[in-house]
Chains A and B, each alone.
Chain A
């Protein structure tokens, strides 16, 4: 048992090579796009809206297509079915998301500097936690908008779950929802961290003989 703990301690504190460190740095840099590119895109088409109504969701704001007009139009249309207005002030995520993403970048930078397996593992775990929580939160938001419909709305429709990824037909609208550039950057962060961790672990596992020597030998 002690040996196992020692071995795991040795593995976690083992220094990693240059590649995993660079990957951690890349992961930190990949956070930058999330400040300038949307995390998610919603596009709705109907016969009357041949060019589509577009909505970009950033980590800190909503942005309608056509200079913001599309968001107004989406809200105007949604009022017929009693859906709440999509309003930035209702997205608490926008308050903490940019800080959390910045925090993640700092954690990745720290991993690049410290250069241990442990730091890479921390990075990946924290990142996965934030990522999965954000996805769930986003899904829950969509669910709430589709289900919390005003009872007095002119048009009554059964509550619905808007698509998170992919397309769906909602009344006269074809609705498409896909991750935006920011999210793809985040997926890349996940891959970079996973790859860094794998490379780091594999390198340290391939040096079993060297480890005792380092500790002064049996």
Chain B
């Protein structure tokens, strides 16, 4: 009996402890903040808004930077379907990019690039659909022609520019592509100076590359010498601020070593305002010094060329409002984003309302030029715009987007993002007339919101509907590494061709008739002119001698859309893809004797498999 009583007591005690535990509470399995009703959108509405039925087309193109993949990704909005990849700075065997003579020469010795900020060409501050410019960190800028979605020029590495992160930003009438040095070095390149003399001997540089208004071809313009801060991101002024170029920096401490700490000491760094029209004029007048083959202008000797706007703290993005009046800088180590009034900037310049200088460059008084510090949230990075004065700022630390209004500076809404948004892109959201409607958060982390693919996880791009008062997250897309910035343009502004018209093909080795195909020899140089068409390659036999230099000139004589053909030559690492009406050449040394099949790689027709031939390399 005593046993029974003991057991009863133990049971009662346990029950009491359990009840107490329930009453006090135990750690939740999820953060309480994970219930985010503001971001959850009605599933059916979201599905209907983003669903583009088979055969239907998207409303917008999104050109997304591919980061260190070196490429540009093209998406359709609102479906968020990845439509194609435009290879730019890295070989891409899918389209044979970097294998034929022309693209191989364009890539040069650099077969990677870290693409950051695509910029669509503009007319009157609005996208005109002609070209897309993209930068990469090695100091190059590429131009993609939107007539055929092909990379047509890779310019650089530009002299003196080191770590071209702050690029490409384009002036409102596509006069210049702007770029800058994130990692200051002694210039010209090749000069080695002790890091101890960083503060005085290392130089920051901003550059304007001239764009030919007809062809889009870039050439060296002018450069502006800047203090050795880490020049980070920029935007070209428009309308009210047209003629100016804004550029943020961190490390105005001029620190070296562990920048994480040493460059985060000051409460404010700067946004540089550069009068690029004056730079253009000064360079034309012969001012400046030739360094590394470029006219470099020193603001010390050209008054009015550069002013520094103090901006807290370690600012990242700077974005100019559609009317050009506000310059919005986001201090990434702050909880606010700062709106500068450019009218006040001009007044302060006129009144010489300065708070000091950096290497002879006047520093404007913060209080005189600032209109508001908007409490958007933690870790603000970039701002995009909608119609009616709406502004949207990405919050990296908060992992959210904030919506606020220019002028009233009210924060109107927030939507959580998954996770850690870097850039954001709104439909035509950096032009003089933003569309609103859609906003894409380009997130750095996806943290397994997708089917698991192992440790190497993709990034995420999330579509947000901004047509109503409240922002609504409507779609998750996963992207290859690594989208930084993107441009979203109304689809009807682009009118791409789908075949290269025969009459436009001026390639000296183009042939259009199998009668002209064949192999000719000059010494030990062999030229094979090949006609490629469904479903044969003519000639189907190319005979050369070991040691010959072989040039194969291929013409796809098709004029039908989507009739691409490939030329894969086994064991020689040759992979060419020809669009309809295109001629490409590939030159190689026949250094391996033997018989090597070549074949069509791009499935073209029912008799695609039969589209093949042989390269015979006779041994010495």
Q: Give CA–CA (A154, B536) in the complex, Å.
A: 12
Q: Is A126 an interface residue (CB 8 A)?
A: no
For the complex, what is the distance from the CA of A10 to the CA of B534, rounded to whole Å? 68
Interface residues of B in 544-594 (CB under 8 A from A): 558-560
Chain B 279-322 interface 0/1 with A at a Cβ cutoff of 8 Å (1 = within): 00000000000000000000000000000000000000000000
Neighbouring A residues of B559 by C-beta, 8 Å: 69, 72-73
Instruction: Name the B residues within 8 Å of A157 (CB-CB).
Output: none
Chain A nearest CB, measured from B97 CB (Å): 26
Q: Which of chain B's residues 513-549 have a Cβ closer than 8 Å to chain A?
A: 533-535
Are A154 and B560 CB-contacts (below 8 A) given A76-B533, A76-B534?
Answer: no
A170 to chain B, nearest CB (A): 15
- In the complex, the answer to whether A80 meets B606 with C-beta atoms within 8 Å is yes
Q: Looking at the assembled complex, report how far the CB atom of B101 sits from the nearest CB atom of chain A, in whole angstroms.
A: 28
Give the residues in chain A near B261, CB-CB below 8 Å: none
A69: chain B residues at CB < 8 Å are 559-560
Q: Report which of A72, A73, A80 forms a contact with B607, defined as CB distance below 8 A.
A: A80
Instruction: Identify which of A73, A80, A155 contacts B560 (C-beta below 8 A).
Output: A73
What's the least CB distance linking A46 to chain B, in Å?
12
Most buried by A among B533, B558, B559, B610: B559
Tell me the nearest residue of chain A to B560, going by C-beta. A73
Q: Within the assembled complex, what's the spacing in Å between the Cα atoms of A73 and B606?
A: 15
Cα-based distance from A65 to B607 in the complex (angstroms): 25
CB proximity of B242 to chain A, nearest CB, Å: 42
- A69 to B497: give the CA distance in the assembly, Å: 15
Near A by CB (< 8 A), chain B positions 605-620 give: 606-607, 610
| Residue on A nearest B605 in the bound complex, by CB | A80
Chain B contacts for A80, CB-based, 8 A: 535, 606-607
Distance from B67 Cβ to chain A, minimum over Cβ atoms (Å): 36
- Residues on A with C-beta less than 8 A from B610 are 154
Bound CA–CA A69/B559 (angstroms): 7
Residues of A within 8 A of B606 (CB): 80, 155
B558 closest partner in A (C-beta): A76
**Nearest Cβ in chain B — how far from A115, in angstroms?**
53
Question: Chain B's nearest CB lies how many Å from the CB of A53?
Answer: 10
In the bound complex, what is the Cα–Cα distance between A154 and B610 (angstroms)?
10
B452 to chain A, nearest CB (A): 37
* Interface size grouping (class) on chain A: under 10
* Closest residue of B by beta carbon distance from A51: B561
Q: Which residues of A contact B535 (CB under 8 A)?
A: 80, 154
Chain B contacts of A76 at CB under 8 A? 533-534, 558, 560
1/0 contact trace for A137-162 toward B, CB 8 Å? Answer: 00000000000000000110000000
Residues of chain B within 8 A (CB-CB) of A72 are 559-560
State A73–B605 Cα separation when bound (angstroms).
13
Residues in B with CB closer than 8 Å to A154 are 535, 607, 610
- Contacting B at CB under 8 A, from A65-83, are 69, 72-73, 76, 80
> With A and B bound together, what is the CA distance between A82 and B606 in angstroms?
15
* Bound Cα distance A73, B533 (Å): 11
A155 proximity list for chain B (CB < 8 A): 606
B534 closest partner in A (C-beta): A76
Whole-angstrom distance from the CB of A79 to the nearest CB of chain B?
Answer: 8
Interface residues of A in 159-201 (CB under 8 A from B): none
Bound-state Cα–Cα, A73 to B559, Å: 8
CA distance A192 to B549 in the complex (A): 73
Q: Which of A21-54 contact B (CB under 8 A)?
A: none
Query: What is the bound-complex CA distance between A69 and B503, given in angstroms?
Result: 13
Cα separation A116 to B607 with both chains bound (whole Å): 64
Task: List residues of A (48-100) whose CB comes within 8 Å of B's CBs.
Answer: 69, 72-73, 76, 80
Cβ distance B190 to chain A, nearest Cβ, rounded Å: 54
CB closest residue in chain A, given B499: A69
- Give the one of A72, A76, A154, A155 with max B CB within 10 A: A76
Tell me the complex Cα distance, A72–B559, Å: 8
Distance in Å: Cβ of B505 to nearest Cβ of chain A:
15
Q: How far is the CB of A178 from chain B (nearest CB, A)?
A: 24
Q: Which residues of A, 113-135, contact B by the 8 Å Cβ criterion?
A: none
CB distance from B516 to the nearest CB of A (A): 17
Whole-angstrom distance between the Cβ of B343 and the nearest chain A Cβ: 54
**How many angstroms between the C-alpha atoms of A155 and B559 in the bound complex?**
23
* Residues from 371 to 425 in B contacting A, C-beta threshold 8 Å: none
Q: In the complex, A76 Cα to B606 Cα: how many Å?
A: 13
Nearest Cβ in chain A — how far from B139, in angstroms? Answer: 43
Please give me the residue from chain B that is nearest to A79 by CB atom: B534
Chain B residue with Cβ nearest A155: B606
Query: What is the bound-complex CA distance between A72 and B561, given in angstroms?
Result: 13
Closest to B55 in A: A50
CA distance A72 to B535 in the complex (A): 14
Closest to A72 in B: B559
Q: Hey, which chain B residues are within 8 Å of A73, CB to CB?
A: 559-560
Q: How far is the CB of B605 from chain A (nearest CB, A)?
A: 8
Question: What residue of chain B has the Cβ atom nearest to residue A48's Cβ?
Answer: B562
CA distance A31 to B583 in the complex (A): 46
Smallest beta-carbon distance A119→chain B, Å? 51
Give the Cβ gap from B441 to chain A, nearest Cβ, in Å.
36
CB-nearest residue of chain B to A73: B560
- Complex: how many Å from CA A69 to CA B581? 12
A43, chain B: closest CB distance, angstroms: 16
Kindly state the separation between the CA atoms of A155 and B558 in the bound complex, as whole angstroms. Answer: 21
A181 to B534 alpha-carbon distance, docked (Å): 34
Residues of A within 8 A of B558 (CB): 76
| A154 to B533 Cα, complex, angstroms | 15
Shortest Cβ distance from B565 into chain A, in angstroms?
13
Distance in angstroms between the alpha carbons of A76 and B531 in the assembled complex: 14
Closest chain A residue to B559, Cβ basis? A69
Give the residue among B533, B535, B560, B606 with the most A Cβ atoms within 10 A: B560
Bound-state Cα–Cα, A154 to B608, Å? 12
- Residues of the A chain whose Cβ atoms lie less than 8 Å from the Cβ of B534: 76
> B502 → chain A, closest Cβ, in Å?
10
Which chain A residue shows the least CB distance to B533? Answer: A76
Give Cα A36–Cα B210 distance, bound, in whole angstroms: 51
Tell me the minimal C-beta distance from B81 to chain A in angstroms: 19
Name the distance in Å between A177's Cβ and chain B's nearest Cβ: 22
Chain A's nearest CB lies how many Å from the CB of B73? 27
CB distance from A171 to the nearest CB of B (A): 10
CA distance A178 to B559 in the complex (A): 26
A145 to B37, CA, bound (A): 69
Q: How far is the CB of A198 from chain B (nearest CB, A)?
A: 51
What A residues does B560 contact at CB under 8 A? 69, 72-73, 76
User: 9 new A-B pairs (CB below 8 Å) besides A76-B533, A155-B606?
Assistant: A69-B559, A69-B560, A73-B560, A76-B560, A80-B535, A80-B606, A80-B607, A154-B535, A154-B607
Across the A-B interface, the 5 shortest Cβ-Cβ residue pairs: A69-B559, A73-B560, A154-B607, A76-B534, A72-B559
Interface residues of A (CB under 8 A from B): 69, 72-73, 76, 80, 154-155
- 14 A-B pairs within 8 Å (CB atoms) are namely A69-B559, A69-B560, A72-B559, A73-B559, A73-B560, A76-B533, A76-B534, A76-B558, A76-B560, A80-B606, A80-B607, A154-B607, A154-B610, A155-B606
Name B residues whose Cβ lies closer than 8 Å to a Cβ of A.
533-535, 558-560, 606-607, 610
